Amino acid sequence: AQKVTQAQTEISVVEKEDVTLDCVYETRDTTYYLFWYKQPPSGELVFLIRRNSFDEQNEISGRYSWNFQKSTSSFNFTITASQVVDSAVYFCALSEEAAGNKLTFGGGTRVLVKP
């Protein structure tokens, strides 16, 4: 069975600080995808990134970066130089080909960036 764990329920930082969100997953499938979604206070789910299980290259997109390590089953997300607009709940999610590609979400991490 697939499972996603986000151990940090809430992180509070001051603007311009870096913040790293942890995500650990469990899967028996060899082909799977990992995702991060942002849920701002308005409630919608905003896609940030998708990674497939065969691509362990780290990725950077502006102030966002992701560290995928299969050896530790982790897919961590770092926001560099945080801004107030980054305040949101961030969800890590997993989909497996063998499970019809449905998404299994972690419990989410609430990030509060104070000015």
Partner 1 sequence: EPEVTQTPSHQVTQMGQEVILRCVPISNHLYFYWYRQILGQKVEFLVSFYNNEISEKSEIFDDQFSVERPDGSNFTLKIRSTKLEDSAMYFCASPGNYGYTFGSGTRLTVV
Which positions touch partner 1 (CB under 8 A)? 35, 37, 43-45, 47, 49-50, 91, 93, 99-108
Q: Whole-angstrom Cα distance, residue 54 to residue 40?
A: 30
Residue 23 burial (CB < 10 Å; 0-12/13-18/19+)? buried
- Of 31 and 107, the one with the shorter C-beta distance to partner 1 is 107
Q: Whole-angstrom Cα distance, residue 112 to residue 115?
A: 10
Instruction: Report the nearest approach of partner 1 to the CB of residue 16 (Å).
Output: 28
- Of 70 and 102, the one with the shorter C-beta distance to partner 1 is 102
- Of 26 and 47, the one with the shorter C-beta distance to partner 1 is 47
For β-strands 3-5 and 46-52, DSSP reports them as unpaired
Least Cα distance to 31 among 52, 8, 46 occurs for 52
- Of 83 and 101, the one with the shorter C-beta distance to partner 1 is 101
Instruction: Report the nearest approach of partner 1 to the CB of residue 93 (Å).
Output: 8
Instruction: Report the nearest approach of partner 1 to the CB of residue 50 (Å).
Output: 4
